[in-house]
A = this chain, B = another copy of it.
Amino acid sequence: MARLADGRQLIYYDDGDGEPGARPVDSRELPELAVASELRYDPLVDEWVAIAAHRQGRTHLPEVAECPLCPSRNGAKTEIPAADYDVVVFDNRFPSLAADVGELPAGDDDMVPRQPGIGHCEVVCFSSDHNGSFAQLTPTRARTVLEAWADRTIELGLQPGIEQVVPFENRGVEIGVTLQHPHGQIYAFPFAAPRTARMLTTARSYRRRTWRNLFADVLAAERKAGTRVVAENEHWTAFVPAAARWPVEVHFYPHRQVPDLPALSDAERDAFCHLYLDVLRRLDRLYDRPLPYIAAWQQAMVNVDRDLSYLRLELFSLRRATDKLKYLAAAESALGVFINDVRPEDVAQRLRDLAD
């Protein structure tokens, strides 16, 4: 573990057991971080919202020579002091949540409780190659990324107040990615994310009725039907959910119920990497151009409902045709009603046909 010039933490994860290259100190002069995140409780829907006004000035699609996620070489001084790296994880310079967010400003509304925006926002660089992508990683490298996710899940779960850890990747300018270097993020929240909380509520209700696990039964039904399965191996199945919200949506479930990434066996870790790389490459062939997507791990909360939880990755894209995106307009954004213009069975069939 190293520290950047402004005190942020940075960790290198290497592919092999070989000697890593030089790891120089960060010699930049960086202004101190000023994070002013605040959580406000929305009493209408019983959910927390983060207000993070300091993020308005964050770096936005810099030129390649200015990329802060490339290694520091040829005179450039970036977020990563080393001249090369395999995988690196460090604290986001413009975090939505942080360990130290200063004093909570006074509120003026008893209906809307407030809390300091405590949490963690980390950046995970998948490769030092600016023009790479997750789909282009070797299985070895994908495994190093998975090890980093699992390691950070443990470490962040031990930090004060943290209730949920979520590794994810936003990919593509179409969904607002502000840096094009291949990278993901890890958020650690001091509460259950609304979608996660919702799924745990339904899983609890399902277990009360059936004595069974909801996610295991969803997986079993998809494997039995087969019409929406995209690919599978001994340990994992990738399928388009029957009630998919997005024109392209693929969920990755392990065949064994485990609560989180650290609980995966060595064989399950390798099997995930092979299946995920296979499906990602099909997704980039779907429209003959890199697919913008969001991929997020749903794993167990740190402290509660671990017995109900079932680790899985949810990936989806708003691209509904080569030249068209799905927009979230009033139905989705104001009402929560998703209208999907693509039949899940059709996109699953297309993805099956795109096998190597």
Question: CB within 8 Å of B: which residues of A?
Answer: 40-53, 55-56, 60, 96, 107-112, 166, 168-170, 175-177, 185, 187, 189, 193-196, 198-199, 201-202, 206, 214-215, 217-218, 221-222, 224-225, 227, 241-245, 294-296, 314, 316, 320-321, 324-331, 333-344, 346
Contacts and interface: CB of A to CB of B under 8 A. Distances in A.
Contacts of A51: 244, 340, 342-344
B176 A53 contact: no
B112 A333 contact: no
Contacts of A241: 42, 44
A53 B343 contact: yes
21 contacts: A40-B242, A40-B243, A42-B241, A42-B245, A43-B202, A43-B206, A43-B218, A44-B214, A44-B215, A50-B339, A52-B340, A53-B342, A56-B320, A109-B221, A109-B225, A109-B242, A111-B218, A111-B221, A112-B221, A175-B328, A328-B333
Contact of A335 (B60, B112, B245, B296): B296
Given A43-B218, A53-B343, A108-B227, 11 more contacts: A40-B242, A51-B342, A51-B344, A52-B341, A55-B339, A170-B329, A175-B328, A176-B326, A193-B337, A195-B335, A294-B329
Nearest to A226: B108
A345 to B, nearest CB: 9
A102 B321 CA distance: 26
A236 to B, nearest CB: 18
Given A96-B339, A294-B334, A320-B56, A195 B49 contact: no
Nearest to A167: B330
A242 to B, nearest CB: 4
The 5 A-B pairs with the shortest beta carbon distances in the complex, nearest first, are A176-B327, A194-B336, A296-B334, A193-B335, A42-B243
B44 A199 contact: yes
Given A112-B221, A176-B327, A52 B170 contact: no
Nearest to A38: B343
A336 B244 contact: no
Nearest to A227: B108
Given A111-B218, A193-B337, A333-B316, A46 B202 contact: yes
A348 B227 CA distance: 50
Contacts of A175: 327-329
Contacts of A244: 49, 51
Contacts of A202: 43-46
A110 B194 CA distance: 26
Most buried by B among A218, A314, A327: A327
A8 to B, nearest CB: 19
A243 B49 contact: yes
Contacts of A44: 199, 202, 214-215, 218, 241
A340 B50 contact: yes
A61 to B, nearest CB: 11
B185 A221 contact: no
B43 A330 contact: no
Nearest to A245: B49
A200 to B, nearest CB: 10
B314 A189 contact: no
